[in-house]
Structure 1
Amino acid sequence: MQGISYRTFGGPEVLEYGDLPDPKLAPDAVLVKVVATAVNPVDLACRSGLLAPLLDTAFPVIPGWDVSGVVVQRGWSVDEYAVGDEVIGYVRKDWLSQGTCAEYVACPVRTLARKPRNLGFLAASGLPLAGLTALQALRRWLQVRRGETLLVHGAAGAVGSMAVRIGVDLGARVIGASRADAAERVRELGAEPVAYEDGFGAAVRELAPGGVDAALDTVGGPVLAGTPPLLAQDGRLASVADGEVLSLGGVYVFVRPDPHDLADLAGLAEAGAVDVAVARSFPLDRAEDAHRAAAQYPGAQGKTVITVDWE
């Protein structure tokens, strides 16, 4: 099969297009013909070696964890899917090696759900990682409830925008912090915007004098450090971007493959509660350009997607 791989950590230039071995199919997996795969910040971090201390690596590495595509073969023990089913997946395995940036990928059924019927393959490929991160952060870790006030940092970004929409669907009042030039986008998502340039702390305190019930950070650094004073007395804090949240009494969220959560997310997409904007797409043999674009335009303008020819 044709695909993208890298044989050493480094910049986008280490990505190579060419022939790769066909994936082996475990009994509890399906072979998916890839139609599209989204590029996420974690893909850039993996490629550069930032996650090497956390994940074993078997070179050459095929990058990518997000996928949308069509089932073309089932493992012996799989009865959840049939050949021809359209699926989405957050196909993160326990080591870096066999990713989604190729013509085919073997996907354990625990990483998959059916593709939302109202999303095309390109948009659907951008749903799993960002959407699951937001869903699990709000439901599992922050346990956001109807009537509460939720603060989302980076509210116009890929994860942040999903969190705003999911927070609204959960019945929360959402305050969305972002750059000033993204304020209208944040408002369209359903949040009350506050701008970092205007001193977001004072703006949040004016909107929520008693503090916010929960806060989700997707930015890290000084933004995260300035968040605890904005919490209510029993407020909860989580970050998907900065492990320093642990020293602030919060939780660090690292998204997990979960077929039930992914199916719930697909249901939210079909109900119109969440959606995915695709800002730019590149063919498979231009993955290097896709990684450069994803680094230059991280999130706020929409997803960067790599497409694979499909007949």
Structure 2
Amino acid sequence: MSTSMRVMELVRFGDADTAFATRELPRPTPGPGQLLVRVEATSVNPLDLQTRRGDYRDQVALPAVIGNDVSGVVAETGPGASDFQPGDEVWYLAPIFDGQGTYAEFHVVDQALVARKPARLTHVEAAGLALVGVTVWEALVERAGVKVGERVLVHGGAGGVGSAAVQLAGALGAEVVTTARAKDHEFVTGLGADHAIDFSAGDYVPRVRALGGVDVVLDTVGGDTLSRSPEVLADRGRVVSVVDIPEPQNLLAAWGVNATYHFLFASPGRAKLAALGRLVDQGKLRPVIGTVLPLADVAQAHTLLEGGSTGEGRRRPRGKIAIAVNSLDEPSRATTSLP
């Protein structure tokens, strides 16, 4: 086996078309309790865009390999790593801002963060679900504590995080309201949304209030969502935001409904992946993959996620943009996987 590996390295902060370069780096060696994983697929997330732009330059020293989703195959085990064997198919969320990222052919990870890949998912699909799946699990289960019969508003139900959140909220027994453009309403109701509201056709607040308000708001879009959430919340409602919001917002109205706010930066862990895997096995959760690109096209993937067009005139897809690294999945196919 070669002692080197191909990576897409972030060499400068800024625009996607000048930020990355293909490099050959030494293949890492797993230490005690660690696994060397052959990365079959990864994906691109908003966190990657923010990192590339330089929003986290204090945490990221250039040059750097970024990325956090992995679905792959164990290639080698380190001393004391007995939970997995070479050849096992695994998936995981790599620690954020801690070590080499996942835009690479191989990645080293502590075995405690790794779970067995659900058999129903391809590597591309699993890579598209890892970070967003853990994010919505923490948001809806661990932070908001969604209960059966509650009403949940998911902002941005057609996006990568939103599409997973709509499904998970439904699996938890909630009535699901989501905002999405009219052209995406059939799509989000297909994911399990009970009500779809076109946010581009006027203020969403009166339409949510007409439904009786909500118990939980999940913010995946930013803007003035935090300050406006009290207008749709029931008493003791909960708001969870997964978006960096640089501008201050007036939350005085939150006192009037005894609202609780949570701000979430997802953390890796095997238990969360195992819980998500059980939902996948039960047919209650599937990743939504809008586009699959090869590792060499990471810059193009960033441009797509930002909403730009490519030379083929494509626009930002629904769901996730996956990156086929070593995967046998066909890199050029675009898939939309629904329950």
- Normalised by the size of structure 2, how large is the TM-score? 0.85
Identify the residue that residue 66 of structure 2 maps to in structure 1: 63
Identify the residue that residue 32 of structure 1 maps to in structure 2: 37
Tell me, what secondary structure is at the counterpart of 1:8? Answer: coil
Rounded to whole Å, the distance in 2 between the matches of 1:155 and 1:300 is: 13
Tell me, what secondary structure is at the counterpart of 2:306? Answer: helix
- Residue 300 of structure 1 and its aligned partner are, at CA, apart by 5.5
- Residue 310 of structure 1 and its aligned partner are, at CA, apart by 4.8
Identify the residue that residue 153 of structure 1 maps to in structure 2: 155
Identify the residue that residue 240 of structure 1 maps to in structure 2: 242
More displaced 10-residue stretch of structure 1: 125-134 or 20-29? 20-29
User: Over residues 258-309 of structure 1, what are the superposed CA-to-partner deviations in whole Å (9 max), with x where a residue is unaligned?
Assistant: 1100111122112111111222222222222222222227975132111123
Rounded to whole Å, the distance in 2 between the matches of 1:102 and 1:110 is: 21
Tell me, what secondary structure is at the counterpart of 2:190? Answer: helix
Percent identical among aligned pairs is: 37
Gaps of 5+ in 1: none
Identify the residue that residue 284 of structure 2 maps to in structure 1: 273
Q: How does 1:1-311 map to 2 (within 5 A)?
A: 1-12=5-16, 13-53=18-58, 56-95=59-98, 97-191=99-193, 192-196=195-199, 197-208=201-212, 211-243=213-245, 247=251, 249-296=260-307, 301-310=318-327
Equivalent residue letter for 1:307: A
Structure 1 residues 246 and 6: alpha-carbon distance in aligned structure 2, compared to 1, 3 A threshold: farther
User: Over residues 123-144 of structure 1, what are the superposed CA-to-partner deviations in whole Å (9 max), with x where a residue is unaligned?
Assistant: 1110110111111100010000
More displaced 10-residue stretch of structure 1: 21-30 or 100-109? 21-30
Structure 1 residues 299 and 290: alpha-carbon distance in aligned structure 2, compared to 1, 3 A threshold: closer
- Residue 245 of structure 1 and its aligned partner are, at CA, apart by 7.6
- Residue 98 of structure 1 and its aligned partner are, at CA, apart by 0.5
Rounded to whole Å, the distance in 1 between the matches of 2:250 and 2:20 is: 34
More displaced 10-residue stretch of structure 1: 292-301 or 225-234? 292-301
RMSD: 1.9
Rounded to whole Å, the distance in 2 between the matches of 1:289 and 1:280 is: 11
Identify the residue that residue 257 of structure 2 maps to in structure 1: none
Rounded to whole Å, the distance in 2 between the matches of 1:28 and 1:58 is: 26
Identify the residue that residue 311 of structure 2 maps to in structure 1: none
- Residue 220 of structure 1 and its aligned partner are, at CA, apart by 1.1
- Residue 226 of structure 1 and its aligned partner are, at CA, apart by 1.8
Structure 1 residues 239 and 104: alpha-carbon distance in aligned structure 2, compared to 1, 3 A threshold: same
Tell me, what secondary structure is at the counterpart of 1:268? Answer: helix
Aligned residues: 306
Equivalent residue letter for 1:74: T
Rounded to whole Å, the distance in 1 between the matches of 2:222 and 2:10 is: 29
- Assess if the C-alpha contact under 8 Å between 2:153 and 2:177 holds in 1: yes
Gaps of 5+ in 2: 255-259, 309-314, 329-339
Structure 1 residues 198 and 183: alpha-carbon distance in aligned structure 2, compared to 1, 3 A threshold: farther
- Assess if the C-alpha contact under 8 Å between 1:219 and 1:242 holds in 2: no
- Normalised by the size of structure 1, how large is the TM-score? 0.92
- Residue 43 of structure 1 and its aligned partner are, at CA, apart by 0.7
